[in-house]
Amino acid sequence: MAYRDFQDFLQRLEAEGELKRISVPVDPYLEITEVADRVMKMPGGGPALLFENPGGKQIPLAINVFGSRKRMSMALGVQDLEEIACEIEDLLKPEVPRGIWNAARELLPKLAVLTKVPPRYEKGEGRCQEVVLTGDDVDLDRFPILHCWPQDGGRYITLPLVFTHDPNNGKRNVGMYRVQVFDKRTTAMHWQMHKVGAEHARLSAEQRKKIDVAIVLGGDPALTYAATAPLPPGIDEMLFAGFLRKKPVRLVRARTVDVDVPEDAEIVIEGQIDPLELRMEGPFGDHTGYYSLADMYPVLHVTAITHRRNPVYPATIVGRPPMEDGWLGKATERIFLPLLRLTLPEIVDMNLPVEGIFHNIALVSIRKRYPGHAFKVMHALWGLGQAMFTKMIFVFDHDVNVQDIKECLWRLGNNIDPERDMCLVRGPIDVLDHASRAVGFGSKIGFDCTRKLPAEGFHREWPDVIEMTPEIKRRVDALWNQLGL
């Protein structure tokens, strides 16, 4: 189900008892972080928060709106995230129906879903342009922008959808990249070297061209999720968001840059980046639970700010897990599993535990068919889009529940001969990894925790797991109440 806009989503959250309003003034300088951090660490993720009076600013601030499995599912219009995975699995089913009539009956409705969701380009003004600020009126200080953690380099826009276009083919990209605010009309742009926004900037630099950027806040929450999703370059996040919300995203032309923006957004910051103009950005208290170090990133010069008449400012904080972003990551883990299975059909399930910052640890179960199969899966993952950042991969047999960390540790401890079952490789690493030998480059490790085969040089018997017989279990079940235990 699609939401009319971000505020419609907030109303739905409130109606479901999922949102708490805070009318007491709370300061965007550190205080909101401390409140939100405590709430995000409550069992289940705590409620979404609407700070109605953030540091005396007129504009309320919403945070933790994605911060539980229920709210993440609500954001994408489903009862549970698995529904989307099933829908994608169904769309990708390779069976070709027999007979033209069956083909029409089975395939056409599936394809119709896709033809109905590409973005629509509207003429005129959008609701995101009810107020337009240009020239001297441009002032980022109007918004309750968070200074998240004590050692942060400054204030950060933390839930931005960054729209850019490939200067060669015009294709749009939308990524979530944090934005440090330097002053009322200047910001940084933290697109990391492996991300599509950074590639657009490199291509623009080659042509000595500036790059037009729109930083969008709000809109249907499916758009925000889409900006975080690891889609292959060239796949339009607005098309993906349309697929998720079952309704096209409506776009209008930005006022001062050559970018189309969601008509229903709360706030749009338009600007230009000269990819060769760099400035020190950071440090920033990051997803890892550590500060990511300051480094040189491009500068954005704001050309206009447009917003709704009464906007709400969407924000998040990142830090030591569990945090709100963990739920965005869990959505990706579930939604992208069927897509992963297109290349790796042997994968049964996958768990990227939040404590492992998602890409630091992957627990994967596979249907093992041949010697070295677990190593093949590791290498495939390291070669697949943003899965390349996975620092540690543990591959288990199909009957291991990788969602159960205790079971994984038990199997891992028992099933490996470290020297034989470990595989070390070198390659790209998440820019946020502070332990790697260089920024963005380091090593990764995989462990084959599967049963070993004779063809893998294992010639002893592989022992059975200890289990009681069903017969005895039934007899003890029947006795249980008499035992007084």
β-bridge pairing 61-63 and 313-315:
parallel
> Least distance to ligand FMN from the beta carbon of 178, Å?
4
Judged by beta carbon, residue 124 or residue 170, the one nearer ligand FMN is 170
Judged by beta carbon, residue 304 or residue 357, the one nearer ligand FMN is 357
Give the interface segment with ligand FMN, choosing from 25-33, 174-182, 354-362, 400-408 (CB under 6 A). 174-182
> Least distance to ligand FMN from the beta carbon of 329, Å?
7
> Least distance to ligand FMN from the beta carbon of 470, Å?
46
Give the Cα separation of 485 and 482 in Å (integer).
8
255 forms part of the interface with ligand FMN (CB under 6 A): no
Do 307 and 267 meet the contact criterion of CB atoms below 8 Å apart? yes
Among 63, 176, 223, 267, binds ligand FMN (CB under 6 A): 176
> Least distance to ligand FMN from the beta carbon of 226, Å?
9
> Least distance to ligand FMN from the beta carbon of 237, Å?
7
Give the interface segment with ligand FMN, choosing from 170-178, 201-209, 372-380, 391-399 (CB under 6 A). 170-178
Residue in the block written with tokens 């930083």: 215
Among 87, 263, 325, 456, binds ligand FMN (CB under 6 A): 325
Do 57 and 267 meet the contact criterion of CB atoms below 8 Å apart? no
Judged by beta carbon, residue 362 or residue 395, the one nearer ligand FMN is 362
238 forms part of the interface with ligand FMN (CB under 6 A): no
Give the interface segment with ligand FMN, choosing from 49-57, 184-192, 239-247, 455-463 (CB under 6 A). 184-192
Give the Cα separation of 197 and 163 in Å (integer).
8
Among 328, 331, 352, 366, binds ligand FMN (CB under 6 A): 328
Binding residues with ligand FMN: total (CB under 6 A): 19
Distances (CA, A) of 83 to 90, 245, 331: 10, 13, 11
Q: Which of 417, 341, 413, 412 is closest to 381 using CA atoms?
A: 341
64 forms part of the interface with ligand FMN (CB under 6 A): no
Judged by beta carbon, residue 195 or residue 411, the one nearer ligand FMN is 195
Q: Binding string to ligand FMN for residues 427 to 446, with x set by CB under 6 A, is what?
A: --------------------
178 forms part of the interface with ligand FMN (CB under 6 A): yes
190 forms part of the interface with ligand FMN (CB under 6 A): yes
Q: What is the torsion angle, in degrees rounded to the nearest 10, for the CA atoms of residue 295, residue 231, residue 201 and residue 213?
A: -100
Judged by beta carbon, residue 119 or residue 175, the one nearer ligand FMN is 175
Judged by beta carbon, residue 334 or residue 452, the one nearer ligand FMN is 334
7 forms part of the interface with ligand FMN (CB under 6 A): no
Give the interface segment with ligand FMN, choosing from 22-30, 69-77, 175-183, 239-247 (CB under 6 A). 175-183
Give the Cα separation of 373 and 312 in Å (integer).
50
Omega prior to 150 cis, within 30 of 0: no
- Torsion sign (Cα): 134, 137, 138, 144: negative
Among 7, 129, 164, 173, binds ligand FMN (CB under 6 A): 173
> Least distance to ligand FMN from the beta carbon of 315, Å?
10
Strand partners, 50: 21, 62
318 forms part of the interface with ligand FMN (CB under 6 A): yes
Judged by beta carbon, residue 291 or residue 396, the one nearer ligand FMN is 291
177 forms part of the interface with ligand FMN (CB under 6 A): yes
Give the Cα separation of 327 and 67 in Å (integer).
6
Do 73 and 81 meet the contact criterion of CB atoms below 8 Å apart? yes
Q: How many residues does the chain have?
A: 485
Active site residues: 286
386 forms part of the interface with ligand FMN (CB under 6 A): yes
Judged by beta carbon, residue 64 or residue 173, the one nearer ligand FMN is 173
Q: Binding to ligand FMN (CB under 6 A): which residues in 23-62?
A: none
272 forms part of the interface with ligand FMN (CB under 6 A): no
Judged by beta carbon, residue 174 or residue 302, the one nearer ligand FMN is 174
Q: Binding to ligand FMN (CB under 6 A): which residues in 191-230?
A: 191-192, 195-197, 228-230
Do 408 and 395 meet the contact criterion of CB atoms below 8 Å apart? no
300 forms part of the interface with ligand FMN (CB under 6 A): no
Contacts with ligand FMN by CB under 6 A lie at 173, 175-178, 190-192, 195-197, 228-230, 316, 318, 325, 328, 386
